Amino acid sequence: MAETIILNIASKVLGSLGSLAINEVGLGWGLDEELKTLEGTLSTIKEALSYAEEKQGKNHVVKIWYERLQATFYEADNLLDEFQYEALRRQVQSMKSNHHHHHHSRSRSSIRIQKLVGKFFSCCSHSNDFRFKFEMGNRIGKIKKRLDMIGEDRNRFYPIGTTTESKQTHHNSAGSTSVSSDVNESEFFGRANDRLRILLLLMTPHADYDYISVIPIVGIAGVGKTAFVKIMYNDERVVEHFGMRIWVKVAQDFNVKRVVQKIIQCITDSPSVDFSPKQTKAILAEKLQGRRFLLVLDDVCNCDNRDWVKLLNFLRHGNKGSKIIVTTRYKSVASTVGTVPMHNLTGLPDDDCRKLLWSWAFRKNDGEQHRNFSEIGKEILEKCHGYPRAIKTLGNLLFMKNDENEWLYLKGKELWELEQNNKHDILPMLRLKYNPLPTDLKRCFVYCSIFPKNYEIEIDKLIQLWMAQGLIQSSGLNHKLEDIGADYLNQLCSIFFFEKIEQHGNLSNTCRMPEIIHDLAVYMANEESISTNYRFGRISKSVSHVPFHDSDCSGEKELTKSLFELEKMRTVLFPFHAVGASDEGFVDEFISRFKYLRVFDLSNSSFRKLSHSIGNLKHLRFLDFSGNANIETLPNAICKLYNLQTLRIEYCVKIRELPKNIGNLISLRNLNLTTQQSCLPDRQIRRLTSLQSFRIIGCGNLTSLPEGMQHLTALTTVTIAACPKLASLPSTMKNLANLRNLEISNCPNLNLAGWEEFRGLRMLQ
């Protein structure tokens, strides 16, 4: 929610203030003292954020304070970004000056002329420096003043002497000593195949009689893992098979001592006692000796291999055939503990969903309502995606509602909207998985609320979007941001917040959110992100990210006034349903209004011309024109986007040539292109030394690649597709030490002699 976002922004801003580049720029303009003072004020206020995080939902004053602080932090972030931009601009100018000096011999007359020109530009430069220093100093002062006022207001809710360390999270330490029969067999629907498989695993002896068999059951929160295992735990055949059954709810951090104490408490049916390790081993040896037991460890959130081995050593006195069931939301836990493949518990089939909904909506009344509401009920069930907890909650909301309009009202609402108006437990249950996530992962997850439901996004593109918003933080271990982003996605996949979809051929792998998880993302995004049809109503001024979901963009000119009031907009997306912006004036309006954009996705658009004002978007990191079949030229002003990390112009089949100064994009990490050129500009390409990924697609006239690619030492991936005239690759490319992947497809005339031994070569047809 908002507190997660602002804490991360605060950390990012403070990190920027402490960076060498910002300090050098500040010192160069005599603003170093102002920046240090700003850093001190921001640090002081950041201390209050964790404390205020608890209070925001309950205290209106704190909520307003948060909103003011968030706006100010964003402003500080934009300010520091402009320092960064100015430093990059000067770096480009310095490189051009050195290049010019190196490549041109000069006569006396030319030297005299250059000195005169140099004096002129020197005067202009001093004038610009003074203007820049004055403007930036003024803005720093305003932000400092605003933060001072916010700092004074924090005393209303942040008691003097309170520290973030005093905020402790308290857990219920009482262990589950037995399992109540709160899951009635008659009220449990479906899962016949799941039950049969687990029953076989429980009743079949493990091949290694000296080893306890561990069965991991994995599934998203709310899918019914605990209820399912309780049914199995109380099954007559299981009760008869195991001489001892033990149930422990773990929930919190996996602590071997605490888990063992709960096991003893369950076995002895006595209060928890803090036994020594020696006493613990003796008690368990006595109680488990010669007995076949079933131990259920419910809701294990984390467990490393060392702790797991320690626990198994305490249980080794049990008889052969003893089993452990571990329920968890995390695939990583299942991989650590399981001796058999993890069992993935998914949503209920449609027929079982319907039975469960009816049982909660009508209770014992099986009258005509079933038939009257049958069709509406099916549509309502689509929101639940087979999750029993969601179905029960909606069924409870529908109980005693016999008016068709009340059912239709519920049908028209998303789960996250119901969350705001009803005290139920669908999304709070899912939040159990969200809350423990690191702040960086939370922000990446919440940002994905901008995509529509079931939207498949290219994995590389998703990571590039995260990077563009500053959501991926460097680990300080020389790890690439792209690799950190891939790790973030893997972690989100491991808890079922995302699912990867492997593609074949030369298609990029994609991923998507399960629908019910998308509801959680929208709910957590609050007003920071918004998924809306742009023509509907007013939009909160705190909104920073706006996607366009409407597949009919014919109403571009009908954009509401409130949208253009969002001066701090950071994301504009037009990627959905393969329809983008078509009106040049509409696009120009965005460029002129939203000068703080980090992401501008105009993929699949159809406009023919792009305004030179695109060069004013100093903060832009991600720019996508891919799939525009009408645009013929890109303005050279694009080359002023010194912060740009990703430029995607593939499948723009009419683009005649790349902008002439494309080498100025010194921050560019990802370049995807299609061009009608027969060769790429060598002097410009060789200057893109930050480039990590280079994708050359559909260049029908391209005959060769620039020799200067040997200077792209950061390059890890090169993809070449559908370039029928390309004859060879520069031999110097083999010297690129970081090049891991070379993917080639549909290049029939390409001679790869000498590349056969390259381990990263992948030929795709």
**pLDDT-derived band of residue 537, with 50, 70 and 90 as boundaries?**
low
Instruction: State residue 214 phi and psi, 5-degree precision.
Output: -120, 125
> What mean pLDDT comes out for the span 336-348?
91
Residue 687 has pLDDT above 80, yes or no: yes
For the ranges 47-51, 547-551, 740-744, the lowest mean pLDDT is seen at 47-51
Single-letter amino acid, residue 386:
G
Please state at what angle helix 439-447 crosses helix 2-17, rounded to 10 degrees.
Answer: 120
Would you say domain 185-344 falls under CATH 1.10.150.110? no
Q: List, for residues 107-158, the tens digit of each pLDDT value.
A: 444 444 444 434 434 444 555 666 777 777 788 888 878 877 877 776 665 5
Q: How many CB atoms lie within 10 A of CB 437?
A: 18
Residue 350, SS3? helix
- The per-residue pLDDT for 621 is 98
Residue 203, SS3? helix
The number of C-alpha atoms within 13 Å of 748 and in the hemisphere containing its C-beta is 2
Residue 651 has pLDDT above 60, yes or no: yes
Give how far Cα 189 sits from Cα of 12, 384, 593, Å. 48, 15, 55
Position with higher pLDDT, 42 vs 166: 42
Q: How far apart are CA 417 and CA 425, in angstroms?
A: 13
For the entire predicted model, the pTM comes to 0.75
Position with higher pLDDT, 615 vs 757: 615
Q: How far apart are CA 754 and CA 733, in angstroms?
A: 11
Q: List, for residues 468-485, the tens digit of each pLDDT value.
A: 999 998 776 678 899 999
CB 706 within 8 A of CB 730: yes
For the ranges 434-438, 616-620, 714-718, the lowest mean pLDDT is seen at 434-438
- The per-residue pLDDT for 120 is 38
Give how far Cα 602 sits from Cα of 465, 517, 672, Å. 13, 26, 14
The arrangement of secondary structure in 437-516, i.e. its CATH architecture, is Orthogonal Bundle (1.10)
Q: Nearest-CA neighbor of 1 among 390, 421, 417, 435? A: 435
Q: List, for residues 235-293, the tens digit of each pLDDT value.
A: 999 999 998 999 999 876 788 888 988 898 888 877 766 778 888 888 898 889 889 99
Residue 44 has pLDDT above 90, yes or no: no
CB 9 within 8 A of CB 77: yes
Tell me the two tokens of residue 570: 């950071």
> What mean pLDDT comes out for the span 497-501?
88
> What mean pLDDT comes out for the span 425-442?
78
Q: How far apart are CA 654 and CA 665, in angstroms?
A: 22
- Label each residue of 68-132 as H, E or C: HHHHHHHHHHHHHHHHHHHHHHHHHHHHHHHHHHHHCCCCHHHHHHHHHHHHHHHHHHHHHHHHH
The ranges assigned to domains in the chain are: 2-166, 185-344, 350-428, 437-516
Computed over every residue of the chain, the mean pLDDT equals 79
**pLDDT-derived band of residue 18, with 50, 70 and 90 as boundaries?**
low
Q: How far apart are CA 516 and CA 385, in angstroms?
A: 7
| Measured torsion, CA atoms of residues 15, 16, 19, 25, in degrees rounded to the nearest 10 | -160
**pLDDT-derived band of residue 60, with 50, 70 and 90 as boundaries?**
low
Q: List, for residues 558-576, the tens digit of each pLDDT value.
A: 555 667 777 788 998 875 5
Q: How far apart are CA 87 and CA 93, in angstroms?
A: 10
Position with higher pLDDT, 103 vs 214: 214
> What mean pLDDT comes out for the span 353-367?
74
Give how far Cα 126 sits from Cα of 119, 122, 130, 466, 476, Å. 10, 6, 6, 37, 37
β-pair type (510-512, 457-458): antiparallel
